[in-house]
Amino acid sequence: MFEKLFKLPSVLARHKSAPYAEERKRYLSHCAQQGYAHATLLVMAYELLWVARKLSVYPSLRVSLEQIKAAAKDWAQRERLCGHALNKRWTRARFIHVAKLWLRFLGCLHEPKEPIPFADLVTDFSTWLEHERGLSSTTIRSWRGYLRGFLCWYSDKMRPFAAVQIIDVDEFLAICGRRGCSRVSINNVATALRAFFRYARTKGWCASSIAQAIKGPRIYAQEGLPSGPSWDEVRHLLASMETNRPGDIRDRAIVMLFAVYGFRATEVAKLRLEDIDWRHDQIIMSRVKGRGSQVYPLSPTVGNAIVRYLREVRPQSSRREVFLTLAAPLRPISRAGLYSLTSRRMLKIGIHTPHRGPHSLRHACAAHLVSEGFSLKEIGDYLGHRSSSATRIYAKVDIEGLREVATFDLGGLI
């Protein structure tokens, strides 16, 4: 790797003879595979040289963050070689950042994790949810987060888990409310805790009456309207990305999948190259909640947008996910990244809806299908709903249909 970066024999010899040469070469090769530019790799090699010299006092390279910070001092030698004074604060911060990434890649950074209270209970419960209940990974991750929040709060009471009482759960839910959580969010926490304590009862971890006594705030069925942009705003959003900029080309294909097909963020993030059947003009979507795949016809407009992204924008990578980051390190776009780009795009053109993430475009897709006259059963099948109750709420956005019902003369029937 050094031979690809340096041409001068003296510079090449300096990097080869410095401590941990093989470890530095491995990391630089890894970064090159992640799509870092040649100029960036040169800077990284130079920074790694100083990191290796400073950490050469640790033969095994098994160091902690505190030891890295201790080594990030005394830059007199580097100032002499540079010929000018350094910004010591920036140099120190850069040293620590590069050292952490390098040692973490090598598996040498000692990062003691803060213990999770009652971690064995959380692990046992999560395994049961996956193998016995068959819940999706997204649901399990959310419930684990709610449960950890409660257990971390409860551990401050310095009591064993067997001593937990319903009053503790009620107090925690009240705290969630004071922190600004919505009724829906608090109800989700209550649902997760109810499932956990029901399982804990079967294991004999706690009193048997806790689960049935957990009550979240009342949530009225279909009490709200789906919040999302109008279909005209969706068209305006797509039109705003009809440029030759790489980011616009990629993001337009992503937004189309949300708005035209109503896909979820996780589903788009996990979409793989082999999931697009170009020969038969189809998309095979692995459903997050449906436990299976669903085949959709690939519309010419969406297909052309994806083809343009693949040909002109997508970086060369061994990753099979369709949508990748445009800057190094190359990696699949996360759910959070998809939310960020969708929200940013909507705000940029002045779309101010209560929700601006990918799910708001899913709502816009459903509302558009309602206005086009599709039945709720057809819409539910299209969106991949497992239950018709998940689709009923879209009946409330059919304003014209509701007006017809409101103006219907019942006089002849009474």
The DSSP bridge partners found for residue 292 are 287
Q: Which position among 15, 287, 314, 359 bears the catalytic label?
A: 359
Residue 264 designated active-site = yes
Q: Which position among 194, 250, 252, 264 bears the catalytic label?
A: 264
Contact predicate 376/222, CB 8 Å: no
Q: How far is CA 199 from CA 36, 62, 203, 209, 224, in A?
A: 48, 41, 7, 12, 32
Residue 58 designated active-site = no
Whether residue 329 has a cis bond before it, omega within 30° of 0: yes
Q: Which position among 252, 362, 363, 368 bears the catalytic label?
A: 362
Residue 368 designated active-site = no
Contact predicate 268/254, CB 8 Å: yes
- Centroid of chain to Cα 389: 27
Q: Which position among 289, 308, 319, 335 bears the catalytic label?
A: 289
| Amino acid in the structure at residue 77 | Q
Q: How far is CA 349 from CA 60, 259, 301, 343, 346, in A?
A: 54, 16, 22, 10, 6
Contact predicate 361/342, CB 8 Å: yes
Rounded to 10 deg, the angle between the 335-348 and 358-371 helix axes is 70
Residue 352 designated active-site = no
Q: Which position among 27, 154, 199, 394 bears the catalytic label?
A: 394
Q: Catalytic amino acids? A: 264, 289, 359, 362, 385, 394
